[in-house]
A = this chain, B = another copy of it.
Amino acid sequence: MGEAAVQPELDTFPAAKMAQTNPLPVPMGPWKITVYDQENFQGKRMEFTSACPNIMECSFDNIRSLKVECGAWVGYEHTGFCGQQFTLERGEYPRWDAWSGSNAYHIERLMSFRPICSANHKESKITVYEKDNFIGRQWELSDDYPSLQAMGWANNEVVTGHGWACYQYPGYRGYQYVLEADHHGGDYKHWREWGSHAQTCQIQSIRRIQQ
């Protein structure tokens, strides 16, 4: 994968053309999520259409299942949008392992969540850099890559973009890092800015988040 490898794609696939060739409906909001304090959509239930910084303020001790009914969301291990991040796209999550990254660091907690903005699935773009502070070679990606190593990717690269998820392991597994245009001004200068749970710069797969 070289500098010249991806840039031609930008000329060939302008955003307007991509939209035209993708007639699938892409709802852009409003957001809606229903959470339950027991597995399999049982127990106490509450609907949200905006961010919840602390589920204990809603008399929940934890969230054990959820349904995303509209929009894309990100859940967090701790209150105040801290700790491990979990991408939550539309669908049913009957238990904790449906959204977890299946990590060694395994704590079954989802204590805060918020809606996220992401581009039309076919129009998403992200720019990745060889070194931190946006130095070195750069590539603009517009597709999902379950294995970055298959593209000749090194481990010391940093990304910037919005509505994308990066993962520690191939195939979208392990620690998840959600990158957004409206956080850090859309720019992530160093892998430590990916989240409070980021302990290494290693990412092995990257994909768009679907609204």
Q: Can you list, as one digit per residue, whether each of A124-156 has a CB less than 8 Å from chain B (1) or not (0)? A: 000000000000000000011111111110000
> Which chain B positions have C-beta within 8 A of A186?
none
Interface residue count for A (Cβ, 8 Å)?
60
Min Cβ gap A32→B in Å is: 12
A53 within 8 A of B: no
> Which chain B positions have C-beta within 8 A of A93?
169-170
Contact of A204 among B25, B92, B204, B209 (CB under 8 A): B92
Contact of A21 among B8, B87, B121, B168 (CB under 8 A): B8
**A104 contacts B97, C-beta separation under 8 Å:** yes
> Which chain B positions have C-beta within 8 A of A90?
147, 149-150, 170
**B151 contacts A24, C-beta separation under 8 Å:** yes
25 of the cross-chain contacts (CB-CB < 8 Å) are A5-B25, A9-B22, A25-B151, A87-B146, A88-B171, A89-B146, A89-B205, A90-B150, A91-B148, A91-B150, A91-B169, A91-B170, A91-B205, A93-B169, A98-B170, A98-B174, A100-B102, A102-B173, A121-B143, A144-B144, A146-B207, A146-B209, A165-B171, A171-B172, A172-B172
